[in-house]
Amino acid sequence: MTQDTTNKALAIDNLHLEDLTWNGKSVGKYVVTDGKEAYGVVSSRYQPVSHKKAVANVMEWLPEGKIANTYAEDGLSRVVFNIELPKVYELNGEEIKTFINLRNSLDGRWELGLIVSPVQVICRNTFVLSLKKAYIDISARHTVNSVRRFFSEVPLVEQVYNALEGQLTVAEMLSEKNVTTEGGRDFLKKLIEGKILAKKIGEKAISLFEHPQFKNEEPRTYLGLFNTVTNALSRKLEEKESINTFEKILNIGEVFSEVVA
Domain contains 132: yes
According to the 3-state scheme, what is the secondary structure of 75-86? CCCEEEEEEEEE
Q: Are residues 50 and 148 in the same domain?
A: yes
Distance CA 101, CA 128 (A): 11
Number of separate domains in the chain: 2
Mean pLDDT, range 11-17, rounded to an integer: 93
Give the domain extent around 141: 2-156
For position 155, what pLDDT does the model report?
A: 58
For position 256, what pLDDT does the model report?
A: 93
Q: Are residues 213 and 183 in the same domain?
A: yes
Last residue of a domain, one of 156, 182, 210: 156
Which of the pair, 167 or 119, is modelled with greater confidence?
167
Q: Are residues 67 and 97 in the same domain?
A: yes
Domain contains 65: yes
Distance CA 243, CA 226 (A): 20
Q: Are residues 28 and 123 in the same domain?
A: yes
Q: Are residues 200 and 137 in the same domain?
A: no
Q: Are residues 21 and 149 in the same domain?
A: yes
Which of the pair, 61 or 104, is modelled with greater confidence?
104
Mean pLDDT, range 137-149, rounded to an integer: 79
| Cross-sheet strand order for the sheet of 25-33 | 16-22, 25-33, 38-42
Q: Are residues 146 and 67 in the same domain?
A: yes
Dihedral sign of CA atoms 65, 100, 222, 170 in order: positive
Last residue of a domain, one of 156, 189, 208: 156
pLDDT in tens, 209-252: 999 998 888 999 999 999 999 988 888 887 776 778 888 888 89
Q: Are 120 and 226 in contact (CB under 8 A)?
A: no
pLDDT in tens, 37-77: 999 999 989 999 999 999 998 888 888 899 998 988 888 99
Q: Which of 147, 91, 95 is nearest to 121 (CA)?
A: 95
CB proximity list for 111: less than 8 A, separation 6 or greater: 103, 105, 139, 140, 141, 142
Reply yes or no on whether the pLDDT at 89 is more than 60: yes
Indicate the residue type of 211.
H
Least-confidence region, from 16-30, 46-60, 154-168: 154-168
Q: Are residues 248 and 129 in the same domain?
A: no
What's the pLDDT band for 174 if we cut at 50, 70, 90?
A: very high
Domain contains 163: no
Domain contains 8: yes
Which of the pair, 229 or 125, is modelled with greater confidence?
229
Q: Are residues 25 and 146 in the same domain?
A: yes
